[in-house]
Structure 1
Amino acid sequence: MPRSRAPRRIRTVRIALAAALLAPLAVACTADPVPATSNTAKGVPAKNGDRPVTVKVTPSGKRAEAGQPVTVTATGGRLTSVTVTDAKGTELPGKVAADGRTWTSARKAAPGTTYAVTAQTKAEGGTSATERSSFTTTPADQVNKVDWRPGSGTTVGVAQPVSLVFDHPVKNRAEVEKQLKITTSNPTEGSWGWMRDYSGKDRVDWRPKDYWKPGTKVTVSAELNGTASSAGRWFVRDYTTTFTIGSRQIVKVDLDTHQLTLLRDGEKVRRIPVSGGTPGGDKRSWRGTAVLMAKEGTINMNSETVGLGNAYDKDVAYSMRLTWSGMYAHAAPWNARWFGNSNQSSGCIGMSNADASWFYAQVRPGDPFEITGKDTKGVVAPNNGFGQWNMSWADWQGTSALR
């Protein structure tokens, strides 16, 4: 009987062994749950075998470097959209590359600003996800501000340049100039040029090749926020202004014949007898093209402020500034006997009260005064008001930082 029991024991062992082998196979055929990842949109799990997209933002951290574009890079998938906003909700414009791998901002990150980054991605297997992050740029050591001419919404003469004067020195002139844009309502060729302002500050002007065409509408845009003017000095805002060019008025001043002539659209409007600066010394007038900077009305003129001792100290009516150094056109009734006959002023262009009143009402800032005469102090310098019209076009172009 022992022969009949042995086979049963062998079968029992084989069945137990088979059960043991089948148990792990059943576990291996069960799908593992997808682990939660930071870039899975709204908790939606990725598809089987679809790895999450890795997103990298540059710059990053709590003391990120300002003054560079923001870039977002995707690995293991592509970007479908990216938004980068500051604390005020202002969005940095940018564009996703054609291959969907990178997004680059069109503007630079400004100093002392926290940016929130939201990147929409799609993995290789089709899973959509959202990745959020933020970074903060280091603050500016010093802020550089800008003084503008002409003012927004004004109508100016055909010789008016765009002029920007900076609070602090600008070392990165080329980088700053790249952020400046002039848009005109008709084709107008022009160029930026750098100089040291009469005040000693850095300055950049834009003038057209020739006088503006009347009626031209001009928009000036300076997207300077996030641009470094020099080490540690930054611009932290953008600037914009618009203005319109008025009628073509040109003032011809002949110091040899002592006459001023106002031309409008090529036609003579009126001729006025004047008296210019006294020949033979520091009281001589400037020659060349000076641009009417401002109509200042009645002001006090003191000779000591322009290095002429105590020659005069008086209130002067209908004052029209032509240079920073103190040359004006104005009423000068005390010189009445010299109008049309002799140059006997302290450098300004004087006329009667009646003529000055009429003339003051006709002209506007930006009108050119084309001054000729044998005995003068020389030509108006580019930084002495708006004397850049006394430079050739080629020379003016050469003062651009981008040439």
Structure 2
Amino acid sequence: MSQIRASRSAAVAGVLSAVLCACSSGGASVAPSADGKRAGGSDRPATVTVAPDGRGAAAGKPVVVTVKDGTLTSVTVVDAEGRRLPGRPAPGKASWTSDRKAVPGTTYTVEARTRTGDGRKATSRTSFTTAAAGHVNKLSLAPGKNTTVGVGQPLSVVFDRPVARKADVEKQLKVTTSNGTEGSWGWVRDHSGKDRADWRPKEYWKAGTKVTLDAQLNGTDSGPGGGWFVRDYLTGFTVGANQVVRVDLDRKRLTLVRDGKTVREIPVSGGTPGGVKRSWRGTAVLMSKEGTINMNSETVGLANAYDKMVDYSMRLTWSGMYAHAAPWNARYFGRANMSSGCIGMSDADAAYFYGQVRVGDPFEIKGEDTKGTVAEGNGYGAWNLSWEQWKAKSALKG
């Protein structure tokens, strides 16, 4: 009987593309016949198939384990470092599929426990190795982890390499909030030229909201030219006070508003009308507080307009618009717009203002003579689109 069992097992292994080596319980076995009755003398062990299989297997697909002539009682898939790939059986337990995809350049060991209709149990083991990634895509996240930001700050993801399969990537970007905030991803071209995805609420965040991004990207292919993601990312931040900065370039006034109440009004001087030195309008979000920095007009295409150290610098766009101290323009504060595009104020007002605002505070800028509206990728200009326009930028529209 043992020789018959051995020859039949070998025959089954020969016709399956990925049959596992099985350790079966001893004793005679009888397979069920077509009408459900036992066919005396037959010995049909459960056979298990795994996909992907072999060496150099394709990554980016779930691991699928199937059984013939039996059911799966458990499946365990682990990589070389012992990390488990979770998954779940299909109804009837004839197959099992991993929740996550197999990642590039990784060896997985699969253990499947089975039971036949007559109660015989077996344990099967095999392994496969996925092909290494040709290119690896990485990303940068804003805001920083565990930071507190203003009510206008989007969750922003900038990718090192192109993302052609935006829908596949967006599906893996899971955002949760402490209060069920409605929001949407939108894809934009970053000022650096890179692909970027921002998650913007429908309206400004509520103060105190806690936000988490779980980017389960490991094993996701970003498409031609972009390569694979080979790790996951987890970050989170908290929204601070409900604070908005309103800038009226026609009145030459900046107003700090907190919880709907005016905290302070500051006389300012914006960009010079009638040319390339005009300021941007629309909603810009405070990107960073940079303190004292060197500002050189040649870096923003203004030839020899200026080259000086500037105090209390607060960046509003990648293209170089700041709010900052501008004591050289003191005679114009509240009277005329005579800057090279930035929003200037006195040293005293700038010191106070710098201490009050935080990254993520929205600056709502209006004025008759400006160079245009802040673009989505020039800093964080998503608020200049309607909610419907922003949702349309998702790769998962509808």
Would the TM-score normalized by the shorter structure come out above 0.5? yes
Is 1:206 the counterpart of 2:221 in the alignment? no
Is 1:173 the counterpart of 2:180 in the alignment? no
Give 1:46 deviation, angstroms: 4.5
Give 1:72 deviation, angstroms: 0.1
Corresponding residue to 2:135 among 142, 145, 151: 142
Aligned to 2:290: 296
Q: Is the 8 A contact 1:47 1:125 kept in 2?
A: no
Unaligned runs of 5+ in 2: 10-20, 31-42
TM-score for the superposition, normalised by structure 2: 0.91
Corresponding residue to 1:193 among 186, 194, 198: 186
Q: Is the 8 A contact 1:39 1:52 kept in 2?
A: no
Give 1:34 deviation, angstroms: 7.6
Is 1:385 the counterpart of 2:379 in the alignment? yes
- Aligned partners of 1:352, 1:223: CA distance in 2, in Å? 47
RMSD of equivalent CA atoms: 1.3
1:373-398 deviation digits (Å, cap 9, x = unpaired): 11100110111100010011111111
Report SS of the residue matched to 2:57. coil
CA spacing shift, 1:76–1:303, aligned 2, 3 Å: same
Corresponding residue to 1:58 among 30, 51, 54: 51
Q: What are the residue-to-residue correspondences of 1:74-85 with 2, within 5 Å? A: 74-85=67-78
Aligned to 1:24: none
Aligned to 2:23: 40
- Aligned partners of 1:271, 1:32: CA distance in 2, in Å? 93
Give 1:231 deviation, angstroms: 3.0
Q: Is the 8 A contact 2:29 2:120 kept in 1?
A: no
Give 1:124 deviation, angstroms: 1.7
Aligned to 2:345: 351
TM-score for the superposition, normalised by structure 1: 0.90
Q: Is the 8 A contact 1:46 1:52 kept in 2?
A: no
Rg bigger for which structure?
1
Aligned to 2:245: 251
CA spacing shift, 1:76–1:286, aligned 2, 3 Å: same
- Aligned partners of 1:252, 1:309: CA distance in 2, in Å? 30
Q: What are the residue-to-residue correspondences of 1:198-237 with 2, within 5 Å? A: 198-231=191-224, 233-237=227-231
- Aligned partners of 1:297, 1:121: CA distance in 2, in Å? 65
The one-letter amino acid of 1:165's match is V
Is 1:110 the counterpart of 2:93 in the alignment? no
- Aligned partners of 2:370, 2:203: CA distance in 1, in Å? 25
Greater helix content: 1
Give 1:120 deviation, angstroms: 1.1
Aligned to 1:375: 369
Report SS of the residue matched to 1:305. helix
Aligned to 2:302: 308
Report SS of the residue matched to 1:243. strand
Aligned to 1:101: 94
The one-letter amino acid of 2:69's match is G
Give 1:35 deviation, angstroms: 4.0
Q: Is the 8 A contact 2:186 2:199 kept in 1?
A: yes
Aligned to 1:395: 389
- Aligned partners of 2:311, 2:86: CA distance in 1, in Å? 51
Aligned to 2:36: none
Unaligned runs of 5+ in 1: 1-30
Identity %: 66
